[in-house]
Amino acid sequence: MHEVGRRVLFHLPPVLGIDLSITNEVLLLWAAAAVTFAVLFAAAPRGGGAVPRGAFRNMVEGLIEYLDREVVKSGLGHEAAGWAWFVMTLFFFILFGNLLGMLPAPSVIKSATASISVTSALAFLVLSATVCVSVGRHGPGGFFMKFIPAGLPKWVAALATPIEVLSWLARPLSLAIRLFANMAAGHALILVFVLLASQARWFESAFPLSSAVLMSGFELFVCFIQAFIFALLAGIYIREAAEARG
């Protein structure tokens, strides 16, 4: 039993020097996207009135309502409410990407988000969204002016500006690393316990097995929390980009 490694499944020619071959990790990504779309599409109304039918639709609607209240309204706020779909898509994509790693096939499937490439792409999207919002609201000048703190002497402002830029760049970086580290570490820990249990004799395997089970339960919670934190912070960053200037 070993961790899922990168395997090229279908070779594609490089584009601008980037290898776009289809790998098992790309498939995991697509699987997460497909599950996300399937679940939400199944919960979408197709006639039949406004009353939700069944526990599944109630659960999905409850989750969306929760996100609407906790992430969209309190995170994005009124000014950036138009980005609600973006933030919700982030949440559900990350959630199902995280949950893929909970399937009991660690040698075949891992979390789509347990890769720095995926989480950094998602963080890059958030960064791009904040740039779009900031430039859209305040213009390019306003966007660059936010890195120069107001009311400081020039030499202090000159020192502070690189710090502001670094601070701004650190946000998506922290988003990417936080999500990747949580998912990779949690699943790695479970994998270690499972490996221990598989190597030990039957009476010695009780501790690692029970630890793996406990960690799995905790990981389910972490999957949800990490998706929520990512979406909430993305919403807050976008709102700040819409509001703040300088």
Partner 1 sequence: MDGMHFDAGLFVWTLITFGILFGLLARFALRPIRRLMQEREDSIRSALDGAAKARDEAEKMRAESEERIAAAREDVRKIIEDGERIAANMRKEAARAAAGDAARLVEEARADIEKETRRGLDELKGVVANLSLRVSRQILRDELSPERHAELADQFIERLKKTHGN
Would you tell me which residues interact with partner 1 (CB under 8 A)? 3-6, 18-21, 23, 25-26, 29-30, 33, 36-37, 40-41, 43-45, 50-51, 60-61, 64-65, 68, 84-86, 88-90, 92-93, 110, 114-118, 120-122, 124-125, 180, 184, 188
Q: Smallest gap, in angstroms, from Cβ of residue 7 to partner 1?
A: 10
Residue 63, CB-side half-sphere exposure with 13 Å CA sphere? 17
Q: Smallest gap, in angstroms, from Cβ of residue 12 to partner 1?
A: 8
CA angle 6, 8, 10 (to 5 degrees): 155
Q: Smallest gap, in angstroms, from Cβ of residue 188 to partner 1?
A: 7
CA distance 115 to 183: 9
Q: Which is nearer to partner 1, 122 or 223 (CB)?
A: 122
User: 223 Cβ partners below 8 Å, 6+ apart?
Assistant: 95, 98, 99, 101, 102, 111, 183
CB atoms within 10 A of CB 155: 8
CA distance 84 to 89: 8
Q: Which is nearer to partner 1, 43 or 160 (CB)?
A: 43
Q: Which is nearer to partner 1, 18 or 55 (CB)?
A: 18
Q: Which is nearer to partner 1, 58 or 199 (CB)?
A: 58
